[in-house]
Structure 1
Amino acid sequence: MRIRIIKLRKTVMRITAGLVLAMIPLLIQGCTKTGNAEEPLPSQLPAAQKPVVQTVTPTPSEDAAAIGITAENYPRIDGSTSTLPLVQRIYKRMFLHVDGGGDGWPGLPQQASKTMRSYEMLIAGDVDLILVPDPSQEIRQMAESSGTELEYIPIGAEALVFVTHKDNIVNNITASQVQRIYSDMSVTDWSELGGQKGRIVPICRNADSGSQAQLENLVLMGRTINPAIEDNYMERDMNGILEMVEDYRYFAREGEESAYSLGYSLYYYIQISESVNGRRDIKALSYNGIAPTPETIVSKEYPLAINYYAVVRKDLPADHPARKIADWLVTTSGQWEVAISGLGALKTLYESP
């Protein structure tokens, strides 16, 4: 219940902030109109007097020219929340910086459609290339039902990790324990995992999230999340689940000093989030006795190691620009962009190309 209150407070604050921001243009417009009642609105000006909006065509870089990428044939690229920095870095490598205001890259992607939606758009033919982790069973079935074959090109290393508050003395969790916590809820106390006696508060993600897909693929093995968890402890945002794991420690029920929440996310997304927001009071647990590290993830020693993929439709022509970008991403230059964007590179990189 307290987690619901926390989320409700955050939602109210976001809505209030949104309303204030939405009113600003109206207030400015009102001030402009009352300032000079005789001045015509822009829409009332003759065509010759209307301001001309100039579009800037980005200039391809040497990297782009080397693989045949131009402003006209640049592919439609989308992906998960965690790959947006990489999508942006690709664009910046393919085009030269433009002086004269703005961020210097007109047309730079500003948001991601997220994992599930990106797969849906690729299957529908609305995008050419997506950068995402492994698909859920639902996505695989959707592609099969539509008669669409997808091609997966590994471009980065990633892993599903389970997280709890750093003060929790538990450092390891097993596949069986996760299944019993999240599916049938037969494990409810941290003492059953070797910790102090205290309630386990399992936080889950929404069904169409990338990390949820990995939980289903790698751990639950056909089991489903218990409805009681989905109804009371579901978080729709990647950053939000980390906040819930961190904050619940301070909003536990009275007398629950040893109650900690349990959540899951993607290893490199946590690194990206903490590089932006600062270190959190959370820690990643070992899984079946193996700690998640860059080394154990890229070597696949960590049991929940996965990949990020550049995914295209299999019927995409061999010379399509989307394939050229995907192929470039596995080169040393491309792998540097993968690493700099905060994801795990597939190869050891000693010096910048």
Structure 2
Amino acid sequence: MIAPIAFAALLLLALLFFTGMGLLYLLFTGLIHFIPLALSAVILLYVWIVMMIFHFFNTKQRKRSFSIIAGVVIIGAAVWPIMHMYEESISTVNAEVEVRYYEPFTIGQESKLAVLDEAATLELTDELPKIDGATALYPLYAAFVQAVYPRKEYNPYDSEVMVNTTPVAYENLFSGKVDMIFAAAPSDAQMKVAEKQGLELNLTPVGREAFVFFVNQKNPVDHLELKQIQDIYAGKITNWKEVGGKNESIRAFQRPADSGSQTGLERLMGDTPIMEAPKENVAEGMGGIISEVSKYRNYTNAIGYTFRYYSTEMVGNEEIKLLAIDGVEPTKETIRSDEYPIASEFYVITAGTENPNVEKFIEWITSPQGQELVEIVGYVPVKKP
């Protein structure tokens, strides 16, 4: 009797060791959704071995009962990973954009960068302004760089011309890592940071863009009123049937705080409080788990928002459709004519740089030639070319 007990104890220690190693692996690789299933499988395996050692399965009834219990436990533990895999299979709209296609002076057919038909009236050779900006605006300021800067490699992540998210671009501007950024207007939180650091932000309008809302291509809703959008994101409208769609609850996705599109939503909502954003748990370094704003997933009942150019030109996702707002489609023509109700300017922003070429560069950007390039890229210029 002692031998089986000792064997069971040693087996338990071995399983605890290997289970611990396995759990650490799942944590570090972000596969946290499989932890309940792994634990359940290990526990059932141990119980099965111990029962075999002590000859518990000496009747068919006991074997059948254990099999049923084990099956129920495994199925229950598999629900979370199965749901996670299903969610992961649903496409996201904020897909990774290949910024290399817009990198200045890229040679070959892969390049999507717009160019002028003539030489630029400004040529910079030294003391190049350091630039950062939002991903959606990279095709534009990369085109400015190719027109004005000297020919060389400009790594998008480590050079005078970088591309980041809007929050990171503002951080780099505030810390003095860059001289200028191309982005939407700062959020209230970003304005407070600038004021606290004693920085005076100078915003020069470069072009105009539409703030757009999109839904799954299969959603029968093609247009919404501005008030309906506000009520959806305030949590007052919760079902698509309230706005002429199917009887499905609305999944209203949001973007991280201080991103350009989230700031756009805050401006749109005004004093109306925005409902809490859907969150999801994600794995962080060293096995930690943090809660982040959920990525947009293209459920049939989902709604999200972004900017027109990023959606139509950079991502080009055919599984979504842009909604008309107050009966107006978001196009370059309706942005130019001010018919589209939520069009706004985007800017080149500085915070007290001492680089002597920054002002020259901004003057050229707002000149007829610079504004012509805004048009060629696909945005709406603030001045007619």
* TM-score, normalising length: structure 1: 0.66
Aligned residue type for 1:323: E
Q: CA separation in 1, counterparts of 2:373 and 2:154?
A: 19
Match of 2:228 in 1: 177
Match of 1:269 in 2: 310
Q: How does 1:40-51 map to 2 (within 5 A)?
A: none
Match of 2:338 in 1: 300
SS at match of 1:289: coil
2:156 to 109, 133, 146: 109
SS at match of 2:329: coil
Q: CA separation in 2, counterparts of 1:128 and 1:170?
A: 44
Paired residues of 1:268 and 1:342 also in contact (CA < 8 A)? yes
Q: How does 1:1-353 map to 2 (within 5 A)?
A: 5-6=85-86, 8=88, 66-67=121-122, 69-70=124-125, 72-95=126-149, 97=151, 105-110=152-157, 111-183=162-234, 185-221=235-271, 223-227=273-277, 229-231=278-280, 234-235=293-294, 241=296, 244-245=297-298, 248-249=299-300, 260-274=301-315, 278-313=316-351, 315-316=352-353, 320-349=356-385
Q: CA separation in 2, counterparts of 1:93 and 1:68?
A: 8
Give CA-to-partner distance per residue, 1:148-192, whole Å, 9 cap, x none.
111111111112111012222212223433333223x23221110
Aligned residue type for 1:94: V
Give CA-to-partner distance per residue, 1:98-143, whole Å, 9 cap, x none.
xxxxxxx323535512211212221222211111112111111111
Q: CA separation in 2, counterparts of 1:303 and 1:128?
A: 33
Aligned residue type for 2:363: D
Change (3 A) 1:226 1:156: same
The Cα of 1:73 is off from its aligned counterpart by 0.7
Give CA-to-partner distance per residue, 1:1-20, whole Å, 9 cap, x none.
88854565699xxxxxxxxx
The Cα of 1:95 is off from its aligned counterpart by 3.9
Change (3 A) 1:113 1:335: same
Paired residues of 1:158 and 1:267 also in contact (CA < 8 A)? yes
Give CA-to-partner distance per residue, 1:81-106, whole Å, 9 cap, x none.
11112232222112455xxxxxxx32
SS at match of 2:129: coil
Aligned residue type for 1:188: T
- Structure 2, gaps ≥5 residues long: 1-79, 92-117, 282-291
Aligned residue type for 2:124: I
Q: CA separation in 1, counterparts of 2:373 and 2:84?
A: 39
Q: CA separation in 2, counterparts of 1:9 and 1:270?
A: 21
Paired residues of 1:158 and 1:307 also in contact (CA < 8 A)? yes
Change (3 A) 1:267 1:221: farther
Change (3 A) 1:3 1:74: farther
SS at match of 1:130: strand
Q: CA separation in 1, counterparts of 2:294 and 2:119?
A: 40
Q: CA separation in 1, counterparts of 2:220 and 2:256?
A: 28
Match of 1:41 in 2: none
Q: CA separation in 1, counterparts of 2:246 and 2:128?
A: 55
The Cα of 1:79 is off from its aligned counterpart by 0.4
Match of 1:21 in 2: none
Paired residues of 2:224 and 2:243 also in contact (CA < 8 A)? yes
- Structure 1, gaps ≥5 residues long: 12-61, 98-104, 250-259
Paired residues of 2:189 and 2:258 also in contact (CA < 8 A)? no
The Cα of 1:222 is off from its aligned counterpart by 5.0
Q: CA separation in 2, counterparts of 1:115 and 1:127?
A: 13
Change (3 A) 1:235 1:331: farther
Change (3 A) 1:198 1:10: closer
Change (3 A) 1:168 1:325: same
SS at match of 2:242: helix
Give CA-to-partner distance per residue, 1:14-61, whole Å, 9 cap, x none.
xxxxxxxxxxxxxxxxxxxxxxxxxxxxxxxxxxxxxxxxxxxxxxxx
The Cα of 1:325 is off from its aligned counterpart by 1.4
Change (3 A) 1:129 1:333: same
Q: CA separation in 2, counterparts of 1:193 and 1:81?
A: 32
Q: CA separation in 1, counterparts of 2:86 and 2:167?
A: 27
Match of 2:61 in 1: none
The Cα of 1:225 is off from its aligned counterpart by 3.4
* TM-score, normalising length: structure 2: 0.61
The size of the alignment, in residue pairs, is: 265
Match of 2:62 in 1: none
CA RMSD between the two structures:
2.9
Change (3 A) 1:189 1:341: same
Change (3 A) 1:63 1:147: farther
Give CA-to-partner distance per residue, 1:315-343, whole Å, 9 cap, x none.
445x8211211111122321233233343
